[in-house]
Structure 1
Amino acid sequence: MHRIVEFVGCTLIEGTGREPMENATLRIVDGRVAAVWQGPERPGDQREPANETLQMQGKTVMPGLIDAHCHISYGEGKTAEEVDVYGGAEWSAVRAVWNAQKVLQSGVTTFCDPGSTWNVAVTCRDAVNNGMFAGPRIFAAGRHIAADGGFADYFPTWLGMPVSAEGVLCPTAHEMRREVRRQVKNRVDLIKISGDSQAQDTRQDVGPCFSDEEMSCIVATAHDLGRKVTIHSRYAKTVAAAARAGVDWVIHASYMDTADIGLLLDKQIPICPTLTYTANIVQHGRDVGVDPNYIETKRRELDSLVETQRKAMESGIPLMAGSEAGFAVTPYGQWHARELELMVELLGMTPLQAITAGTHINAKAFGWDHEVGSLRPGRWADLLVLDGDPVSDIHVLGDPGRISAVYKGGVAVQRTMPMPSRRRMGHERSLTVSSMPLNR
């Protein structure tokens, strides 16, 4: 016995960039899209009556959002110590599945976690897939593969990198290959490279923390084992090296040399700029205690990021949409749709282009476009029902009051908005030795 649900009379956004369909019917059979048609005339092969018919006049139906950059293990930390050291594996995992509910209720039905402390993202994914907890579909990475002096190598050399950290130090090509194999054994979907070197923070003319041979070693090993690869790469030489190595997408590309756009374009390597994280630090960083000097650094980065991504978009490089949710400045469930708003406001995308970035293009980068990211037949019926038209006003997606319903696999998501707040525990925060000023 099939379970058939029909959404009738809606404005339907497919997700692939096609213009919205007015007076549309969406037919769902056993949780997947079976057919879409316009007007009252029913296709001849869709005669079996529906178990449930939902009248959607005045509503917009579109694919659920996909956030390509959401760190579910980070717990909205303010410091590297909070993210990498405090909390513990058990607490981080429980906290992650709790936060995943907030992400789903906000309209994000799939996300990629490109870098996790412990193996929390994989654990959260499996708990959701097993029906133990409500949450989005998760495309999960493990710890960033890092080299000495690289972006994720935050702590002093004498301390090393804790086993809890978001990164794992791999000093040789042998260790890099072994770490990829270890992560695949531990069921990751994605390998994350921490590509930038700390030297690039002061000299952008220097290179990444990996040689071309080392980076190619990581990518080739991951691809041989059937896994995608992404890379943290703000600086120009890291982006170019990543393109030569054949990564599946690059993250940030804030200072990419426009002369290297052709490298990504030739291979159709997408960019996930994560405008939201940088813009939120600039606009809201003071509210969560961000150092004013760092805010100014991020202000300069945002200017470069906008200029670079406009040129990338105009050249034809696909842009992905990711918020970098998981930090104090990007809390779960609140900012996921803002990436689409910023793509419209700062990059000059049309709302429909931004919606496509936040649905189909993200799904295609993951290799999941035959399962999610559009409302084409055969895909999971992961969708949003909206009071309003996001093609006319992209801000509709970020307004919880305009989200009438969220469906995952054709089943309505229980939305208790807002979710209850939780108290941050002492063991998940950096320790304050003294709050007294030094000069007394």
Structure 2
Amino acid sequence: MEDPTQAFKLITAGRLIDGKGGQPIEEGAVLVQGSKIIAAGPAKDVLPPEGATVETYDYPGKTVMPGLIDCHTHHNGFGDGRPGEDVAALPDEVITLQAARNARDSLFSGVTSFRDNGAKNMTMFRLREAVNLGIIQAPRMVLCGRPIAIVGGHMGYFGAEVTGPLEATATVRQLIKEGADYIKMSATGGSTRTSYPLLPAFTLDELKAMTGEAHKFGKLTATHCASTQGTIDSLDAGVDMIIHCVFKDADGKAHFREDVAERIGIQGAYVNPTVHTARATVWALELRKEARGLSAQEQSALDESLWELELRWTHLVRLIEMGLKIITGSDSSWSSYKLGNTVYETECLVEAGMSPMKGIVSITSDAAKSLGIDAITGSLEPGKEADIIIVDGNPADDINVLWNVTEVFLGGHRIDRGPESALAGIRQQPPISRTDTSIANALHAGH
């Protein structure tokens, strides 16, 4: 026990979920001193030292649990459907201000840690400097800086295009010098207009060079994989996380490769499926349809988006059934997915077959492990940072309870989130005509 003369916070609630996957503890408590958790468990067992100064927070009927961790964000973006090229065309100063706004919305929604998956130039490093200087509040950040792409490759417009193993290695070193916590690579094309999503981007030698250099310095790696060959190449290179993990062949045909999925499991790579990004595109088109109707071209886009969502969701069911290590990473604010709405991605995982408790783990302790920050945060355990949220209800029964965040603590500090009216504006609302529910219902019938 630390110095009892220092003030403590005692947080009590109707139940406690520690983030490690066990059953909720009825009438739980967390004892905090400074920024650290001192004890967590049944309230009757979690007591401050005799004579200590204690600040008490009591939340009867509610749940105390770890803060949420979003493993995939793009804080430079707007989540309004604009392409990445348009974001990259904005001045860095504007993008950094937008990133600060997004970080605030994320924190207020209950996200206490995030990993940004690619930003323009130095914008996210500058945001972290502002946080460290006390200028703004934001969740804990795990940053890659600029994502690495081939010339014309996905997100190359953010400032890191390379050709050959030597340039690839030099760029990894430069990013680490600038403060990168991990290395993000676009192993295939994506939504970038000049890229080819169905084809591998880097040569295997380039991928191996970047992954090896990152690992040499103790940095994790992750690859954007919009088609199967990108995943295969990433596994050959020893990448730590497969992002999107889309099973499509070079001709565009969807083909779930069980052998590739088995390799992911054998090598212990994490999978970040980003299903709600596809669903958010469907929702945006449906909202437009409700407001003014769709042109023939827009209706075709909606039909294609529904097909993409069904494909991604169905393949996710298979990955969950195979027992792969799947975490919550929203991919907001890409496409039409705004920051502060991470829970929609966890909901997609549960719809695909995860139990609500496993969904909780995917956005807390497993998320922390996948980012290499599990010694710091992700569960309610002594010695870890007191990143804590209070939710109204029991998310182990219904994952959507995670929307009901009533309090956020970051490093033991209670966050002033402002009025409820402002918080209500953070959540994106779905359309009335939820055509995606037929896909979800089919998933339920299957498992």
Taking structure 2 as the reference length, the TM-score comes to 0.84
1:369-390 deviation line (CA, Å, top 9, x unaligned): 0111111111111111111111
Q: 1:42 to 1:403 in 2, by over 3 A?
A: closer
1:411 equivalent in structure 2: 413
Q: 1:269 to 1:41 in 2, by over 3 A?
A: closer
Q: 2:83 aligns with which of 79, 83, 86?
A: 79
Report deviation, 1:287.
4.1
Structural mapping, 1:29-68, within 5 Å: 29-41=33-45, 46-47=49-50, 49-68=52-71
1:125-149 deviation line (CA, Å, top 9, x unaligned): 2322332201111111122211135
8 Å Cα contact 1:8/1:56 also seen in 2: yes
**Matched residue type, 1:370:** A
Q: 1:331 to 1:375 in 2, by over 3 A?
A: same
Matches of 2:139 and 2:112, distance apart in 1: 4
Matched, 1:232 2:224: yes
Matches of 1:410 and 1:246, distance apart in 2: 37
8 Å Cα contact 2:12/2:43 also seen in 1: no
How many residues are matched?
Answer: 402
Matched, 1:366 2:358: no
8 Å Cα contact 2:39/2:381 also seen in 1: yes
2:439 equivalent in structure 1: none
Q: 1:214 aligns with which of 206, 228, 249?
A: 206
**Matched residue type, 2:312:** L
Report deviation, 1:306.
1.8
1:157 equivalent in structure 2: none
**Matched residue type, 2:344:** R
Matches of 2:12 and 2:197, distance apart in 1: 57
Q: 1:233 to 1:33 in 2, by over 3 A?
A: same
Q: 1:100 to 1:419 in 2, by over 3 A?
A: farther
Q: 1:42 to 1:283 in 2, by over 3 A?
A: closer
Matches of 2:172 and 2:182, distance apart in 1: 10
Report deviation, 1:226.
2.3
1:1-53 deviation line (CA, Å, top 9, x unaligned): 4231111243000011111111112111112111123252456x954535212
Report deviation, 1:167.
5.1
Q: 1:344 to 1:185 in 2, by over 3 A?
A: same
Q: 1:81 to 1:41 in 2, by over 3 A?
A: closer
Q: 1:233 to 1:205 in 2, by over 3 A?
A: closer
Q: 1:195 to 1:48 in 2, by over 3 A?
A: farther
1:261-314 deviation line (CA, Å, top 9, x unaligned): 121111110100111111111222354799544443332222222222222222
1:161-218 deviation line (CA, Å, top 9, x unaligned): xxxx23522122111111111111111112110111479x9xx997511121111111
Structural mapping, 1:86-165, within 5 Å: 87-148=90-151, 150-152=153-155, 165=157
Tell me the percent identity. Answer: 28
Matches of 1:102 and 1:329, distance apart in 2: 16
Q: 1:198 to 1:14 in 2, by over 3 A?
A: closer
Q: 2:246 aligns with which of 233, 251, 254?
A: 254
8 Å Cα contact 1:233/1:251 also seen in 2: yes
Q: 1:49 to 1:211 in 2, by over 3 A?
A: same
1:343 equivalent in structure 2: 349
Matched, 1:185 2:177: yes
2:382 equivalent in structure 1: 377
8 Å Cα contact 1:244/1:263 also seen in 2: no
RMSD over aligned CA atoms reads 2.6
Q: 1:59 to 1:225 in 2, by over 3 A?
A: same
**Matched residue type, 1:125:** R
Q: 1:389 aligns with which of 394, 397, 412?
A: 394
Matches of 1:285 and 1:258, distance apart in 2: 32
8 Å Cα contact 2:320/2:353 also seen in 1: no
Matches of 1:42 and 1:227, distance apart in 2: 37
1:393-418 deviation line (CA, Å, top 9, x unaligned): 211112xxx32211111111111244
2:281 equivalent in structure 1: 281
1:175 equivalent in structure 2: 167
Report deviation, 1:115.
0.7
8 Å Cα contact 1:149/1:209 also seen in 2: no
8 Å Cα contact 2:189/2:226 also seen in 1: no
